[in-house]
């Protein structure tokens, strides 16, 4: 059975390793700003006490930005359940929209989010190229051998 829990001290070592493994660092660039992913709130998805998913987010005024979403077992509703948990937090905090950033190579994420009602909101041309000044470990080539240059912003009204 899927259990969604707030990210807490019991999960931090696991979460830090997952973020590092999936994102190449515990630092994340979004819209020109560098974020320490280890300081963000989030939720952990567990099935039979096994940690299989993580979402992190940040609240900023009337906006909630999803910073990372990772599932170690696709097709089991983990990502969708984690997104719903953040939507509830955003609603309770009085946010008017959820936002997230992905890169131009991440066609899997674009399909995933759009199927769940997220809309394309903006294209930030060259934003990843600029972000490499703050986080040089961002790879030049991404999924499906697509060069990574741009950020794609998606949104959902709360």
**pLDDT tens-digit readout, 108-156:** 999 999 999 999 999 999 999 999 999 998 999 999 999 999 999 999 9
- pLDDT score of 74: 85
Number of helices (H), then strands (E), in the chain: 4, 9
Cβ atoms 121, 151 nearer than 8 A = no
> Among 32-36, 40-44, 139-143, which stretch is predicted with the lowest mean pLDDT?
32-36
The one-character DSSP state at 83 is H
What is the distance between the alpha carbons of residues 131 and 136, in angstroms, rounded to a whole number? 8
* Cα three-residue angle 38-41-102, rounded to 5 degrees: 75
Residue 33 has pLDDT above 90, yes or no: no
Cβ atoms 11, 17 nearer than 8 A = no
What is the distance between the alpha carbons of residues 129 and 86, in angstroms, rounded to a whole number? 29
Confidence of residue 35 (pLDDT cuts 50, 70, 90): very high
């Amino acid at each position: 059975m899927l259990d969604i829990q707030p990210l807490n001290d019991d999960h931090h070592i696991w979460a830090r390793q997952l973020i590092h493994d999936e994102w190449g660092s515990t630092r994340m660039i979004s819209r020109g700003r560098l974020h320490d992913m280890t300081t963000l709130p989030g939720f952990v998805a567990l099935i039979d006490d096994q940690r299989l998913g993580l979402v992190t987010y940040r609240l900023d005024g009337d906006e909630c930005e999803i910073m990372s979403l990772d599932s170690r077992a696709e097709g089991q509703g983990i990502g969708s359940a984690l997104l719903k948990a953040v939507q509830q937090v955003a609603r309770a905090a009085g946010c008017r929209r959820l936002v997230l950033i992905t890169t131009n190579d991440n066609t899997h994420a674009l399909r995933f989010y759009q199927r769940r009602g997220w809309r394309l909101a903006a294209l930030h041309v060259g934003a990843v190229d600029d972000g490499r000044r703050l986080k040089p470990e961002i790879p030049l080539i991404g999924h499906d051998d697509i060069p990574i240059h741009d950020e794609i912003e998606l949104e959902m009204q709360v």
